[in-house]
Amino acid sequence: MQKTVTKLADGRELIYYDPDGDVLRDATDLRTLGPVAVRSEIRLDPVLGDRVTVAAHRQGRPYQPPAGDCPLCPSRAGRSTEIPAADYKVVVFENRFPSLSADRAGRVPDSGSPLFRSEPGTGRCEVVCFTSDHDASFADLSESRAALVLDAWIDRTRELTALPAVRQVYCFENRGTEIGVTLPHPHGQIYAYPFTTPRTDKMIARAAEYRRRTGRNLSEDLLAAERLDRRRLVLTGEHWTAFVPFAARWPYEVHLYPVRRVPDLPALGPAERAEFPRIYLELLRRFDRLFDTPADGEDAAEPGPSSPTPYIAAWHQAPRDGGEELSLHLELFTIRRAANKFKFLAGVESGQDAFVNDVLPEAAARRLREVAS
């Protein structure tokens, strides 16, 4: 892999990732850009103890621009974008509308009460462009390109984790307007948090309690139990296992674990890295085929979806400190529960964080096996 680091016109970092070592990347950002204006703070919820990032400046970010105005496409004559080059393979750059920023987080005024605690929104937010093809998706990538994206995730996790203020690195992709994506170009994001996220804190606490009670690792035992049960297995390889979780929250939700427990992306070995693209691309392609034909119990006359399956793909990895019991894994899920039906967070989910799933996890796993390539 070749990595080329450069700067955009406003000083933000941009990194090209190429599979070969002889690619010349000397394109210059010709735009005239003012400094990135970040007004971000992290407030502590006095009732729940959760941290909430407040980033009001993000209201002005682009929303669903026409394809000809996409800021993630390569630059061309007469039109400069976030990527100065005329073409690229995989690109990572600092978000111009970040929720968190190491250099530009402002001072937080005194709240006037010890109940109202806040701190600057220190951290880093990056955009990961998977391909220069505006109309593609991750599922359209070749295995070699998916491997290059994995290389970029690994590299960014390693570098961002080394930053003094960063405690957790989170790589993820949102796909589909139904999810809330503001730019349709195939891309993901990376957040480098100055704190451990609430979901990770819960996973750490559960794993620690399981270790105290049994003397064993929760992730290892969970994966072994799913592989033995087999009803919720979706796809297995030599080094990766995909299954629908026993208590899935979302209609179609798959967790992808390496068979060998590792804490984070940089800890993956050569064999695990080599097998991942085939397994992950097959999962994404199955998600896109889920609603091509009605599943059992659905109306056969119901028309298919008008857009590709929306999904969130989220890497969970151990934070820098205190996550020794956690296992790296990817969670892939969609809010679509039928061809023209969606699961939106209603009163019990949004109000009480108590999920109700309309699809039996075993049925979801069976359906995902039925749509195999």
Which residues does residue 127 pair with via DSSP β-bridges, in sequence order? 93, 189
Terminal Cα distance for the chain, rounded: 29
Cβ pair 169, 157 in contact under 8 A: yes
Of 57, 134, 185, 187, the active-site residue reads: 187
How many CB atoms are closer than 10 A to CB 158?
14
d(CA 53, CA 48): 14
> Which residues in 45-167 belong to E strands, given as ranges?
51-55, 90-94, 118-120, 124-129
Any catalytic annotation for residue 187? yes
Using CA atoms, how far residue 230 sits from 28, 76, 92, 234, 362, in Å, is 53, 51, 38, 9, 10
252 vs 371: CA distance, rounded Å: 13
Cβ burial, residue 371 (10 Å; 0-12/13-18/19+): middle
State the catalytic residues.
187
